[in-house]
Amino acid sequence: MRYFKMLAICFMCFTAQSQNDNVMEKEFRVEGSATVRIQPNQVVLQLGLESRGKDLVATKTENSRIIAKAVAFCKAKGILEKHLQTDYIRINPSYNYNNNDLNYYSVDQYLSVTIEELGLYEEILTELLKMGINKVNNISFRTTHLKENRKKARKLAIEAAKEKAEFLATEVGIQLGNIVNIAEYSNNSYGLYGNRLLGSNISQNVVQNVTDNSDYEGLSIGMIPVSASVTLTYNVK
């Protein structure tokens, strides 16, 4: 019986030593971030028209006439059918709360216009407002090249992390082994490894602009940022 107790104690000590050896395995973690700024190639206008009148049918008819005129104008300027979208019509009566008499009917209809020729943005918006469009709910610039530029940002982030890791390892005199883990994240905390890590949140940042150098008079469209951030974990030899 005593023999088995001693054997169990030795086994526990061996297991504990193995666990300590694993814990002491050294790793080095480095973060790389990259932002690719790209020029948008579309502008989306979210517009609306509110018409008011006591005659519901006449008010709705006038509202529909102006929307139809706006759509026809956009088509004449080369806007594709798939880039024009009218939303539902919303009708609300307004009453005088003192005597419950009808003040007017409000007829709302919404129009979305996607413009690919950015140079037409100012002209189209101005003309639509002249026609009677009286709501500008949102104007947004976007790109149809998001996927390829996201890949480019990821690649740049990985390159930045590798460059930083090699520089720091050379400066402090450690030899890096293989990359054992890679993670992509956004606003995440990576404090999961405790004291096993020699480096924490050591980052390298890259910003790259992608533009076709187009100039649109009177229009400052800015750039769309596409960002990526990765963390590489190395074994230390």
- What does the domain layout of the chain look like in residue ranges? 26-39+145-236, 42-142
pTM equals: 0.65
What is the tens place of the pLDDT at every residue in 9-31?
A: 444 444 444 444 444 568 999 99
- Contact between 80 and 12 under an 8 Å Cβ cutoff? The reply is no
H, E, C per residue of the chain: CHHHHHHHHHHHHHHHHHHHHHHCCCEEEEEEEEEEEECCCEEEEEEEEEEEECCHHHHHHHHHHHHHHHHHHHHHCCCCHHHEEEEEEEEEEEECCCCCCEEEEEEEEEEEEEECCHHHHHHHHHHHHHHCCCEEEEEEEECCCHHHHHHHHHHHHHHHHHHHHHHHHHHHCCCEEEEEEEEECCCCCCCCCHHHECCCCCEEEEEEEECCCCCCCCCCCCCEEEEEEEEEEEEEC
Give the model's pLDDT for residue 146: 87
CATH of 42-142, one of 3.30.450.20, 3.30.70.2970, 3.40.50.10790, 3.30.70.2470: 3.30.70.2970
What is the tens place of the pLDDT at every residue in 174-220?
A: 999 999 999 997 543 332 223 333 333 344 555 555 555 455 454 55
Residue with the bigger pLDDT between 219 and 156: it is 156
- Asked if pLDDT for residue 161 goes beyond 70, the answer is yes
CATH of 26-39+145-236, one of 3.90.76.10, 3.10.450.50, 3.30.310.50, 3.30.110.170: 3.30.110.170
Q: Fold match between 26-39+145-236 and 42-142?
A: no
